[in-house]
Structure 1
């Protein structure tokens, strides 16, 4: 995860000033998100104080009339200017058109909401009293991908400067930014390993260095690859870079006995590159990367020479209320949740997502399909050119992430012409001319390495099981939703809405109850099982991980296996059960043997009790009386699954405890129990940190869950009390509907912190329930 490099710079100065090298490097990356003001009316005298990341408008929970228009950001700042120094401003994401003025001078007009842009501000800033103004527009624009009007789009894009902004200071001899440089297969730092074995990994590192000083420089690079167990150092050739010239310096790499990156052991290396001139360190930059071997072969996909059927999901990057304006930590928590749900892959539907999320995928071991912006739309020549530029930019930004195995240079479900598909692939292969770099497209076109249809793009009952193309593999990019929602009614997602059957669809809110949540889980099970029958299918990604809002609909799209607040549904535990019990993940990630009773066990509950488990056997007890000990249920809906569910029939309802024991090799290895809920009497407050503590220094956002429980502390799943939230303490705010009715026993609100330096006290209450208080320190 990212952090400012001020402390690292000070440490580096102390370290090297005591040795043989003299440190003239002044590279600093400073979070530039504080002390901004914001307005939607540039003529207004009132500008609201805000912190970036920021959304242009806090939206309701169900977004059916999202705000669009111009908005304005302004910041006054000072900056210490030193001789032989460069100053840059880096915007990670602005949705989706931006004009930036520095001290009254328009310095950039950028189009595209999902990728970064950088401004060389050296000549525009002064030491005191600088003003930066950013005009942002998120209105429909058919020339900016995804291009489709919001009211007809299957997801929302939200306005504002919604990702981080950084001020970066470097020497006048410096390592460039790859996206800013806009150089084919160049700019910044590029690491590639093309020969990988247990004995050694061979490859190269290419570093683009620019000299904007007034004299030539003799330059060489010191390069270090390190992890907790090993360090490898390399020195480049020395080159002469003329004044106002640049050079790409290539250095061969060979790392003995590399620790490979994988889905169970996502080993990463810290890469430090120092730019040296004589004995002075002129610049220093670090990144994380991993060494891994990915291959599409005739019989499937291989990771580090082991065959793998890829089990994954799709993710939209929105949160309720704040849209896209997530903190880095919130993005990281989503990756943790995806991994904990049993997935080892995520498709970034349908646009490039933030670097923080990709960093998290690298760290937790999630394979990634990186995607450009597109959904059921192709625009004019300007749209096409912007789409091509997006391919260039995301390949340059993301090329060092070991998690990325497929590049979806395809306009999803859009009528791409042959010339577009050919050019899109040519651009990526020119930017990344290496083996293996795999491209993916939703149209079965020979330019793509991988065919990625959605399940509903073919017909029941076989779907893609009979697909035959010996030169191409297939990856089911979406499944489990549309074929159940609209009975396979093609692409038209509005006209055929009347085909929906409430108890058949996978679109189920948590409040819809056990029966419908079980139906959703069964739909995913059936489709998963079917997908495994395709002999050319290398993997799948269900639709989808989290519920989300859409531009064209007046309800929440609820086919997520967790709701929009990231609370799991029954289907979450079905997927969790499909991971082998032998897998042992580190860093508090969920793995190993599991068992889960998908039942609330009240008077309304089914007496056919479904249990999800990856164990060999499950024993189910009612009030400590054995109901049965069974093997998993294998039938036409489950015979191909790694771990089919268990179904137990209980003769009659008896209030009390259901307890399931997971058994492997005849021994109990895990258990789960549910207890019949009594009347609701109290509230319990929980903060969802998902392995990532609240950032004490910068803005962060977390979910606060108010669980309605009985006297035993058991969740009451049909409780729908309106819960009021309150907060005591500075530097934080509650965002969302307040009070809000509990859904399936849980009411949720967002807590946004600015700097968690002092304790915060949260309170949740209802007149008929015992209130709950939680103190955050």
Structure 2
């Protein structure tokens, strides 16, 4: 493996400020800001001395990503340019280096250049600016392994085959000679196969046959293997390690199949942005997002809308078994010929960076929601298939009768709610039949890639009846997707609220389209997805209520929807006889775990109290395997009782980020969802705070991210009015 030297520290930003990467050029406010504040050029500078013994080796700079138009200068000379804000930038340093101090200057232009995708039209998300992923100094031999493409063509057979197309880097044009050894290792590092070959050119095809006892990568058992390559040549030795998985993924007219078994896709779209820091959250924060999608929301797929995302995020998807639909940058707009040529390069860069991730099951090679363009999309599909024939292509559209050039017809179906826009009196179906959408007289592989979202944006602090409707719409579409035999599944819009341009959202530069807020705190609709996970992975019990008699436009809390994967639910109100509720399989016959809905007719008269009578405490109990297994209590007179401050981890590596959630709780541990008081945040020790130190609660909670700086103890103090101060302790390691 080439030596990777972290190059994140000691950058001079705009000639005045010492910063550490990843970095956002402008820390934008939570909302109500002018997005033009970061749409200009910014400069990063660094002085460095090459490592000892660098002569005779190759040195290069690797920026994992920078937004958006980057120019890199070494000792005053332009050595690299890159017009893609989402894929790596490689800049060869060797020929321009001196033995002593060297000076790097990187100019990042955050302007929305109309020649660079996704820019040129309107975009419903922000792209921010800055060097927002890690930067590395790379040192390797003059003849080195550049990359490898691994394929596993026969994973459903008893014995399996591995092929590896190895590409070599040879910028000094050395005579190519030497030996390449390949060792296949299991997840424990044990060697299970070996081969070697002589170098004959700038690439080499290796093959391992008759592989025995190989475990497949699956969503429930994500087994990973590594291929270790050792190059020995007269020009020096080189090593390269690639992690991958054996798995087979296929979209058919009968749905999606993983390793030969049918799997209904249940996913959400993800933007990679965060409050205040924009795109600039490091590896640990990216990994936490993947964990949240997999374990908190219980999804089996995420779509990287609408651009390639961090390899740290994708690596974590590999590790935990979260499927990925990855696509090129863009939103509705198709630019001119230079723009299209750059978009085709986007396809190439995305696939060559990510082709060994077993989690990725489909390439998105069409600009999201764009019009048909036969020549353009013929080329994007051609490039994708030439680079990676093992995965199918998809092209996300929102128009009917769109030309199908991809392998999978991927459709944003916003039919539910469309009658409200058009003024039609018809009752909207949750999803349309695929032939109605495609205009074809036959079925094709078909996947819903967006639904709901902007059709019914919902804030975490919205009134209860809107929250219930938000929940219901997500339930209805999921139920329809599970019931559509030929549909591979559905990916909702979207996981998290996100900052947007002034043209979109709620007028405050936020799209409240998520089933979680920008701090990743689940709204009620988030529990729709969580409740579809199997009970063995954790029981879910989320009553969709603030539990207050007068919160709704009518008296009381009925009908009461309880999102759960329990067998049944019991409602215990005051001293009244408990009422048992069963999953609503009449309205949601296709869901793995329908909600339990308590209706007024289920109760004796006055059982839950009429207006003007006493309002009592309540308990909702989930029954599983015949026993009370999980419960939620509600008090009739909630009071602000405690302040919960919970970090995602108590140890954090130097330079990494950690989320901390703050929740105002009542006396039985529920969020006080109307609490909107400001909290003050104080951080002492080896960390710094992203964003301001005074923030309001929203729907009873808020959050913030910290970045560890150095090592040692970290003390977080959060204060809220009469509740005083809560301290939490972390360690930077």
Q: TM-score, normalised by structure 1?
A: 0.84
Cα deviation, 1:498-542, whole Å, max 9, x if unaligned, reads xxxxxxx3x111111433222211111112223334343111100
- Tell whether 2:696 aligns with 1:696: no
Which residue of the partner structure matches residue 769 of structure 1? 723
Note the C-alpha offset of 1:633: 1.4
- 2:132 matched to 1:162? yes
Report if the CA contact (8 A) 1:63-1:549 is conserved: no
Change (3 A) 1:602 1:713: same
Is 1:204 the counterpart of 2:163 in the alignment?
yes
CA 1:679–1:421: 2 relative to 1, 3 Å: same
The equivalent of 1:465 in structure 2 is 433
Distance in 1 (CA, whole Å) between partners of 2:725 and 2:205 is: 63
**1:251-266 matches, cutoff 5 A:** 251-266=207-222
**CA offset at residue 205 of structure 1?**
0.9
Contact 1:441 1:451 in 2 (8 A): yes
CA distance in 2, matches of 1:411, 1:372: 7
**Residues 719, 592 of structure 1: CA spacing in aligned structure 2 closer, same or farther, 3 A cutoff?**
closer
Q: Distance in 1 between matches of 2:460 and 2:539?
A: 26
Q: Do structure 1's residue 479 and structure 2's residue 451 form an aligned pair?
A: yes
Alpha-carbon deviations, 1:619-650, whole Å to 9, x = none?
Answer: 233358652222211234x2222211002246
Match of 2:639 among 679, 682, 697: 679
Shift of the alpha carbon at 1:128?
Answer: 2.3
Deviation string, structure 1 residues 287-315 (Cα, Å, up to 9, x no partner): 21111111223322110111111111100
1:195 matched residue in structure 2: 154
User: Could you tell me how far apart the structure 2 residues matched to 1:577 and 1:216 are?
Assistant: 57
1:296-336 CA-partner distances (Å, limit 9, x unpaired): 23322110111111111100000011111111111111111
What does residue 557 of structure 1 align with? Answer: 511
- 8 A Cα contact 2:145 2:168, kept in partner: yes
Distance 2:72 2:716 in 1: 39
Correspondences of 1:566-605 after superposition (within 5 Å) = 566-582=520-536, 591-604=537-550
Give the one of 55, 62, 69 matched to 2:31. Answer: 62
- Are residues 88 and 644 of structure 1, via their aligned partners in 2, closer, same or farther at CA, if it must alter by over 3 Å? same
1:687–1:704 contact (8 Å) kept in structure 2: yes
CA contact (8 A) 2:183 2:191 kept: no
Out of 257, 270, 275, which is 1:315 matched to? 270
1:120 aligned to 2:97? no
Does structure 1 conserve the Cα–Cα contact (< 8 Å) formed by 2:66 and 2:86? Answer: yes
In the TM superposition, 1:604-623 aligns within 5 A as 604=550, 606-622=557-573
Call closer, same or farther: CA 1:48–1:617 in 2, change over 3 Å: same
Q: Is the 8 A contact 2:678 2:695 kept in 1?
A: yes
1:48 maps to: 17
Deviation at 1:273, TM superposition (A): 1.2
C-alpha contact (below 8 Å) 1:717/1:744 kept by paired residues = yes
Report if the CA contact (8 A) 1:677-1:710 is conserved: no
**1:106 is matched with which residue: 74, 78, 93?**
78
Q: In 2, Cα distance between the equivalents of 1:248 and 1:528?
A: 46
Aligned-residue offset at 1:254 = 4.2
Is contact 1:97-1:111 (8 Å) kept? yes
- Aligned in 2, Cα 1:575/1:740: closer, same or farther, shift over 3 Å? same
The whole-number CA distance in structure 1 between the counterparts of 2:430 and 2:89 is 45
Q: Kindly report which structure 2 residues correspond to 1:748-763, keeping only aligned pairs within 5 A, or say none.
A: 748-755=703-710, 757-763=711-717
| 1:85 alignment partner in structure 2 | 57
Tell me which moved more, 330-339 or 645-654. 645-654
Deviation string, structure 1 residues 348-395 (Cα, Å, up to 9, x no partner): 111111111111111111111110011110111000000000011111
Listed one character per residue, the Cα deviations across residues 478-515 of structure 1 (whole Å, up to 9, x for unaligned) are 01224xx3xxxxxxxxxxxxxxxxxxx3x111111433
The yes-or-no answer on 1:662 pairing with 2:623 is yes
Over 3 Å counting, the alpha-carbon distance change for 1:51 and 1:694 in structure 2 is farther
Q: Which residue of 2 aligns with 1:33?
A: 8
1:100 alignment partner, SS class: strand
Question: Post-superposition shift, 1:668?
Answer: 4.0
The alignment status of 1:219 with 2:179, answered yes or no, reads yes
Q: Which runs of 5+ in 2 are unaligned?
A: 419-427, 552-556, 610-614
TM-score scaled by length of structure 2: 0.89
Instruction: Determine which of 313, 322, 339 is the counterpart of 1:357.
Output: 313
- For 1:438 and 1:384, locate their aligned partners in 2 and report how far apart those are by CA, in whole Å: 18
Match of 2:578 in 1: 627
For 1:147 and 1:775, locate their aligned partners in 2 and report how far apart those are by CA, in whole Å. 43
Q: Deviations over 1:669-700 (max 9, x none)?
A: 444444456322442222134xxx65323x22
Q: Give me the whole-angstrom Cα distance separating, in 2, the residues matched to 1:471 and 1:514.
A: 40
Shift of 1:571: 1.1
- Alignment partner, residue 4 of structure 1: none
Query: Is 2:175 the counterpart of 1:233?
Result: no
Structure 2 Cα separation of the partners of residues 124 and 694 of structure 1: 41
Q: Return the alpha-carbon distance in structure 2 between the equivalents of residues 297 and 713 of structure 1.
A: 47
Distance (Å, rounded) in 1 between the aligned partners of 2:209 and 2:632 = 50
1:337 Cα offset (Å): 0.8
| In structure 2, C-alpha distance between the alignment counterparts of 1:470 and 1:540, rounded to whole Å | 20
Distance 1:616 1:230, change over 3 A: farther
1:74 aligns with 45
Q: Is the 8 A contact 2:142 2:174 kept in 1?
A: no
Worse-matched range after superposition: 53-62 or 190-199: 190-199
- Provide the residue aligned with 1:494 in structure 2: none
Q: Secondary structure at the match of 1:539?
A: strand
The aligned length equals 689
C-alpha contact (below 8 Å) 1:352/1:370 kept by paired residues: yes
Shift of 1:415: 1.9
Q: How far apart in 2 are the matches of 1:291 and 1:559?
A: 36
The equivalent position to 2:405 in structure 1, one of 429, 435, 447, is 447
1:425 aligns with 2:381: yes
Q: What are the Cα deviations for residues 557-607 of structure 1, in whole angstroms up to 9, with x where unaligned?
A: 11211101111111111111112335xxxxxxxx24433333333344514
CA distance in 1 between counterparts of 2:414 and 2:199 reads 56
Contact 1:234–1:253 under 8 Å retained in 2 = no
In structure 1, what is the Cα distance between the partners aligned to 2:478 and 2:284? 31
Query: Structure 1 CA distance, aligned partners of 2:309 and 2:189?
Result: 32
After the TM superposition, which residues 699-710 of structure 1 pair with which residues of structure 2 at under 5 Å, given as runs?
699-710=655-666
CA shift in 2, pair 1:440/1:346, >3 Å: same
| Cα 1:271/1:675, change in 2 over 3 Å | farther
Structure 1 residues 535 and 124: alpha-carbon distance in aligned structure 2, compared to 1, 3 A threshold? same
Between 1:439-448 and 1:536-545, the stretch displaced more is 439-448
Structure 1 CA distance, aligned partners of 2:574 and 2:236? 70
Unaligned runs of 5+ in 1: 1-24, 40-45, 177-187, 486-504, 583-590
Q: Which residue of 2 aligns with 1:548?
A: 498
Q: 1:574 to 1:677 in 2, by over 3 A?
A: farther
The correspondence for 2:119, drawn from 136, 147, 158, is: 147
2:622–2:630: 8 Å Cα contact kept in structure 1?
A: yes
1:661 CA drift (Å)? 2.0
Greater CA drift, 189-198 or 672-681: 672-681
Aligned counterparts of 1:469 and 1:535: Cα–Cα separation in 2: 17
Q: What SS does the corresponding residue of 2:291 show, helix, strand or coil?
A: helix
Alignment of 1:250-399 (within 5 A): 250-277=206-233, 282-340=237-295, 341-399=297-355
RMSD: 2.3
The structure-2 alpha-carbon separation of the partners of 1:229 and 1:627, relative to structure 1 and needing over 3 Å to count, comes to: farther
